Amino acid sequence: MRMPQISDAAGIHRLISECPPLDLNSVYTYLLLSEHFGASCVLAGADDTLHGFVSGYVPPERPNTLFVWQVAVHEQGRGQSLGRRMMQHLLQRPGLAHIQYIETTVGPDNRASRAMFASLAQKLLAPIDEQPLFTRDMFGVHAHEDEPLLRIGPFAIASLP
């Protein structure tokens, strides 16, 4: 597991395209994430075979929070704790040692993602709170599920096994 580099952007775009229901963003978005936010993103796999990716950032007004944007594990790599291990890897980076909350949005029907974040919260011995955030009408003409906000925390990263 490592930080993404700009040379990974096209590969990340391909991985995300193979991981519905994730929204596929432009290659340029993945270039920006790799160039400016690599310290809060993680990639799993070798150059030509990417197995997993997490994008995240620290919202400027909440420096103790890691907002997780997209989590993707290739179909062939699922069920081996890779999603949760990528999250734990991120939290164990020295630059994120001050993080006390994880926020993310997850559709109501995304069982796998909800289970992964529940499992992470359990490892962190932290509660999960859920509130409405992005509702389907906010996506305009683009059909989209609601994206409620999940907030995990507070936690101490030192509690991770």
Ligand X SMILES: CC(C)(COP(=O)(O)OP(=O)(O)OC[C@H]1O[C@@H](n2cnc3c(N)ncnc32)[C@H](O)[C@@H]1OP(=O)(O)O)[C@@H](O)C(=O)NCCC(=O)NCCS
β-pair type (101-105, 65-73): parallel
Q: Is residue 22 a contact point for ligand X (CB under 6 A)?
A: yes
Choice from 80, 92, 135, 159 touching ligand X (CB under 6 A): 80
Q: Is 150 in the site for ligand X (CB under 6 A)?
A: no
Q: What is the DSSP letter of 92?
A: T
Asked if 97 interacts with ligand X (CB under 6 A), we say no
Distances (CA, A) of 132 to 101, 115, 121, 139: 17, 19, 19, 14
Site for ligand X in 113-132 (CB under 6 A): 113, 115-116, 119
Closest separation between CB of residue 157 and ligand X, Å? 18
- What are the structure tokens assigned to 65, written together? 């929070």
Q: Which stretches of the chain are DSSP H helices?
A: 9-17, 27-36, 82-91, 111-123
Q: Does 160 sit near ligand X (CB under 6 A)?
A: no
The DSSP output letter for 2 is: B
Q: Which of 17, 35, 59, 79 binds ligand X (CB under 6 A)?
A: 79
| C-beta closer to ligand X: residue 75 or 94 | 75
The region of 2-10, 40-48, 110-118, 136-144 touching ligand X under the rule CB under 6 A is: 110-118
158 dihedral zone (left: phi>0; alpha: psi -120 to 50; beta): alpha
Residues that bind ligand X (CB under 6 A): 19, 21-22, 71-73, 78-84, 106, 110-113, 115-116, 119
